[in-house]
Structure 1
Amino acid sequence: MDIKIKRWTHLGLGAALMTTTALAGCGEPAAKDQPTASEQPAADAPTEADVEAKLEEVNGAAASSGEGEGGVAIEAALTDPVVYNIALTVAEAHVLAARDAYRDGEAQAAGEMFAHPVSEVLFDMEPVFEARGVSDFTNQFLEASAAVFAGESVEEINARTAAIIATLRAAAGHAPDDGSSPASVTTGVVADMIDRSTKMYRLAGESDFYEPYLDGYGFYTAAKDQFEASQEAIEVENPDAAKAIRGALTLLGEAYPTAARPDMLDADVSALTVAASEVFLTVGD
């Protein structure tokens, strides 16, 4: 497929399986005197010199490590709005999965899932966020994780999830501008999430681990939510992509009926793979 390699970087199987291990300190609440993202003062808008300096810094890190654990090309995220928003959506997918897992009685997995984006993608993205004028917001994820283990109500966890997503949306407003339309950026992000969800379903079918299924459910849910919010603009700009995305999401909705893993994973993996490929073919560069 004629797709830019820098954009389409995905989770490795080993990284997905690592979600079975809780992060060190996940269950610890954030310091009481640490301000939430909404309380922090807005950072000054980055100058071109700031971005160039951070690009050099990120390039140096990328040269030694390549991608973050979450399969995001960190170097590219500084200048490519699709990659930047993929990083944010990987985090969003995890909190959506955590929210629904908690609702469905999977508290341990939910607590871990809330915290996981901090090490999987947000830590690696820190210099990018700094360069784009985004204040640190990782405390919200750790506080949500601690709240799960403290036994907060489903309604309270839902409220925390909504607050995190609002923070991620605000961070998305600081994405780099390469001239791409908002619809094309969302299309690229949704295509990536569909691909990740498909890969996680295949992995989930090869083991009894819950986490790959929950990861895939989160990626599917994030793709669905973002597409539904932008589908009219995507339909106008790229009707082929809109059609392919609807088809893929329909199949993924059947594969992931709930955050709780079904007894049988009997969706057609080949059909899912073809559908994901068809979405990519409509995206282009």
Structure 2
Amino acid sequence: MKVELKTWTNLGVATALAGLTLAGCSGEAGESGESAAVDTAGEAGEGGEGEGGEGGEGGEGGVDIAAAGNDPVIYGSALAVAEAHVIAARDAYAAGQTEAGAEMFAHPVSEVLFEMQPVFEAQGVEDFSDLFTTASQAALNGAGSDEIAGQTDGIIAALRTAEERAPVSEANSGAIAGGVVADQIERAVSMYAQASETTQYGLYLDGYGFYKAAQATFERSADAIKSENPDLAEKIEAALGLLAQAYPDALRPENLDANQGALSGASAGVLLAAS
């Protein structure tokens, strides 16, 4: 399995992770990387470490950091990006991809959380980035899968607490959750297209995480979404069904042969219904 080194910024764990060689996310895997963030104007974030810049319209995780303090969808999408990484990290680690898991735990710190700190502070959210680096170090130290799963649960609990501090908006809960799900679905579809053009594991693993984050968000909010926007709920379910086939588990299949046209069409349908 071919993997490449990711560029690290603003991370105290850079030295510890220097030996890892997982590509993907917003590093050297390509300019678009995780750049599918949706803002309230319906535009995609400009992405990764490219034109978006750090803390600009795209942010390192493809999140519009400047808007996150006022828009609960973008704020929630930033949290979902972090959740996607830790789900992927946990599942990759459990599947034997220990180095990939270790690095995936640490990715959100540089890609999202560092830039989001001013937003979190304004919303009264205490810094919880150390949970990610602690989990990453535990993975590097060869911790058992149960311990890693427990640390993942702790991170997700912190993300849920942060979610409760989302910016106030006139949008209803179903619309907000639906927007976050749409964002994660678009990211998952985008990463699958990139992964299908290379042998890099990181691209596939990123997409797997985005799919799982979309699924988790929908499961928590399905009733509200179905009540407020049945068409959106139906389109989300259809898209998640296709993504379940594209991402059967955290280990990359030998062939990535899911129908990209069908995936892209399903994602577009979700975005349209959520707009």
| Paired residues of 1:26 and 1:115 also in contact (CA < 8 A) | no
Deviations 1:159-200 (A, max 9, x none): 000000000000001100111111111100000000000000
Question: What TM-score does the superposition give when structure 1 sets the normalisation length?
Answer: 0.79
Match of 1:138 in 2: 129
Structure 1 residues 204-233: Cα deviation after superposition (integer angstroms, max 9, x where no partner): 001010001000000000000110111111
Is 2:226 aligned against 1:241? no
Counterpart secondary structure, 1:141: helix
- Please identify, of 176-185 and 156-165, the stretch whose mean Cα deviation from structure 2 is larger: 176-185
Q: Structure 1 residue 79 and structure 2 residue 64: aligned?
A: no
Q: State how far apart, in whole Å, the 2-side matches of 1:77 and 1:230 are.
A: 20
Describe the shift of the 1:205–1:96 C-alpha distance in structure 2 as closer, same or farther (beyond 3 A). Answer: same
8 Å contact 2:182–2:236 — kept in the other structure?
yes
Displacement of 1:26 in angstroms is 4.6
Specify whether residues 218 and 253 from structure 1 end up closer, same or farther in structure 2 by C-alpha distance, changes over 3 A only: same
Q: How much does 1:22 deviate? A: 6.5
2:110 is aligned, of 115, 119, 136, to 119
* Separation in structure 2 between the aligned mates of residue 155 and residue 63 of structure 1, nearest angstrom: 35
Distance 1:121 1:213, change over 3 A: same
Give 2:192's match in structure 1, choosing from 192, 198, 201. 201
Partner-residue secondary structure (3-state), 2:125: coil
- Paired residues of 1:244 and 1:278 also in contact (CA < 8 A): yes
What are structure 2's unaligned runs of at least 5 residues? 18-51
Q: Greater share of helix residues, 1 or 2? A: 1
Shift, 1:67, TM fit = 2.2
1:34-85 Cα offsets, whole Å, 9 max, x none, are xxxxxxxxxxxxxxxxxxxxxxxxxxx9898432110000011010000001
Report what 2:204 is aligned to. 213
Q: Percent identity?
A: 50
Higher relative CO (Cα under 8 Å, sequence separation at least 6) belongs to 1
**Aligned-partner residue type, residue 118 of structure 2:** P
Q: 1:20 to 1:180 in 2, by over 3 A?
A: farther
The equivalent of 2:269 in structure 1 is: 278
Tell whether 2:95 aligns with 1:110: no
Give the unaligned 5+ runs of structure 1.
1-17, 30-60
Aligned to 1:187: 178
Which amino acid is the alignment partner of residue 21 of structure 1?
A: K
Q: Give yes or no for the alignment of 1:168 onto 2:153.
A: no
Instruction: Tell whether 2:6 aligns with 1:21.
Output: yes
Q: Indicate yes or no: 2:61 matched with 1:70.
A: yes
Q: How has the CA–CA distance of structure 1 residues 97 and 135 changed in structure 2, closer, same or farther, with 3 Å as cutoff?
A: same
| Amino acid corresponding to residue 180 of structure 1 in structure 2 | A
Aligned residues of 1:27 and 1:149 also touching (Cα < 8 A)? no
Residue 147 (str. 1) matches residue 132 (str. 2) = no
Structure 1 vs Structure 2 CA RMSD: 2.0
Tell me the distance in 1 between the aligned counterparts of 2:111 and 2:77. 13
How many residue pairs match? The answer is 236
Asked if the contact 2:55–2:66 (Cα under 8 Å) also holds between the matched residues in 1, the reply is no
Alignment-derived partner of residue 95 in structure 1: 86
CA distance in 2, matches of 1:167, 1:239: 30
How far apart in 2 are the matches of 1:195 and 1:157? Answer: 28
Deviations 1:81-136 (A, max 9, x none): 00001001100000000000001110111101000000001001011011111111
Q: How far, CA to CA, are the matches of 2:112 and 2:131 in structure 1? A: 15
